[in-house]
Amino acid sequence: MTSADLLVSFLRAVERELRSSLLRIGHPTLLAVAEHLCFGQTAKRARPRLVWQFGRCLGEAPCFDDLVDVAVAAELVHSSSLLHDDVIDESVLRRGRRSANAAYGNPAAVLGGDMTLTLAMQRLEPHPRELTTRVIGCVAQMTDAAISEIDARWRTDLDVEDWQRIASGKTAALLAWCGESVATLAGDKDARAAFSACARHLGIAFQLADDLIDVGIEAGTLDEGKARYADLRNGNANYAVIAAARRSEQVARWLAQLYDALRDPQAPADERDLRVATVGDAVRSSLATSAALGRVDHELALALDALRALSAAQEGYDAIAMWGRALCDRLHRPSTSRRKVV
């Protein structure tokens, strides 16, 4: 089988075992919530893909079924966080269709998130306790980042360091757990440190890309199932918005006026929409987006440097490098500024 065939076989096994885990849910509403989120057509399965690619970086990878268990657990933790996030954000869209909270209500979405998290822990029961201990720590980091993100809402005085702390827990922590778990199963301490460093840089790059996509910096059309400028409308910390406001007093002033309007129940809807578009378009056309694009490249380069230090197997290294390039290709860049990641 080719490398591509092996990856397809692995992802099919992950889908099969993910569905098997969800079928352990007894209550039909909770099952419907979990399936609604986990099996959306645009689910990218980024974490299972990363688990497989880290395995390919090792000379002696863990067995196929063990990698599947790590991948399924990671997807369940991720799904749990998305169910909870959509309730917190009052989101109505996820992966191109109605969010679970919009379809089934907040109580069902919250409890569905709790249930998927318990399924993740159950999936790890046959494996070394260290995997479960570390994923509990990972969930703690994600939870801390989530409340920090809430604390940061509607603030116009944030800087990129504030954003970094949130992104490290919100996105990078779970990717790092994926890498650490693969290396732990292989009994390779050097790989565990390298995979953790690589994954954390990938996580920052992915969050940067997500923030850029939110303000419309994407090749072609939005395909994330999210409304453009959702972060602005929710007052969420967004790297491009923060950087633009720090660079321009005008953008910072418009941002403050926008947040005032969005929190004013008396403000007309068309005024809010106009202010959102004004700030969003200003951010999109600012130099801050170029800086953010440059940082995506930088984080991806640091991720690959971590693998080079390990002397990772070329096949796995190439797969992760290609993954990084695909991320960059999703982002709109003028041809004169397009740079190679590796």
Given a contact cutoff of 8 angstroms between Cβ atoms, the answer to whether 194 and 184 are in contact is no
Average pLDDT for 185-214: 94
Q: What is the dihedral of CA 27, 45, 233, 159, to 10 degrees?
A: 120
Q: How far is CA 229 from the centre of its chain?
A: 17
Got the DSSP string for 98-139?
E-HHHHH-HHHHHHHHHHHHHHHHHHTTTS-HHHHHHHHHHH
In a domain, 307, yes or no: yes
Average pLDDT for 42-66: 90
pLDDT for the residue numbered 218:
65
Q: Which of these, 331, 43, 322, lies nearest to 209 by C-alpha position? A: 331
d(CA 105, CA 114): 15
Lowest mean pLDDT among 174-178, 221-225, 338-342: 338-342
Where residue 32 sits, what CATH number does that domain have?
A: 1.10.600.10
Segments forming the whole domain that contains residue 252: 3-337
Given a contact cutoff of 8 angstroms between Cβ atoms, the answer to whether 205 and 296 are in contact is yes
pLDDT for the residue numbered 221:
43
d(CA 177, CA 121): 13
pLDDT for the residue numbered 144:
97
Task: Read off the pTM.
Answer: 0.91
- pLDDT for 223 beyond 60: no
Is 93 in a helix, a strand, or coil?
Answer: strand
In a domain, 201, yes or no: yes
First vs last C-alpha separation in the chain: 27
Residue 225 gets which letter from DSSP?
A: S
Question: Taking the CB of residue 234, how many other CB atoms lie within 10 A of it?
Answer: 16
Domain count, the chain: 1
In a domain, 99, yes or no: yes
Residue 94 gets which letter from DSSP?
A: E
d(CA 302, CA 198): 7
pLDDT for the residue numbered 332:
54
In a domain, 181, yes or no: yes
In a domain, 342, yes or no: no
Given a contact cutoff of 8 angstroms between Cβ atoms, the answer to whether 215 and 229 are in contact is yes
Mention every residue, 6+ apart, whose C-beta is less than 8 A from residue 220. Answer: none
Q: What's the longest Cα–Cα distance across the chain?
A: 63
Residues pairing with 98 in the sheet: 93
d(CA 128, CA 183): 12
d(CA 249, CA 51): 43
In a domain, 311, yes or no: yes
Which tens digits make up the pLDDT trace of 23-47?
Answer: 999 999 999 999 999 997 767 899 9
Which tens digits make up the pLDDT trace of 112-149?
Answer: 999 999 999 999 999 999 999 999 999 999 999 999 99
In a domain, 218, yes or no: yes
Q: For residue 208, give the H/E element and its range.
A: helix 189-214
Based on its alpha-carbon atoms, the radius of gyration of the chain, rounded to whole angstroms, reads: 20
Count of residues in the chain: 342
pLDDT for the residue numbered 315:
80
d(CA 183, CA 53): 12
Average pLDDT for 229-244: 94
* Residue 283 tokens, joined: 């951010």
pLDDT for the residue numbered 308:
87
In a domain, 70, yes or no: yes
d(CA 115, CA 144): 20
pLDDT for the residue numbered 95:
76
- pLDDT for 65 beyond 60: yes
Lowest mean pLDDT among 121-125, 190-194, 315-319: 315-319
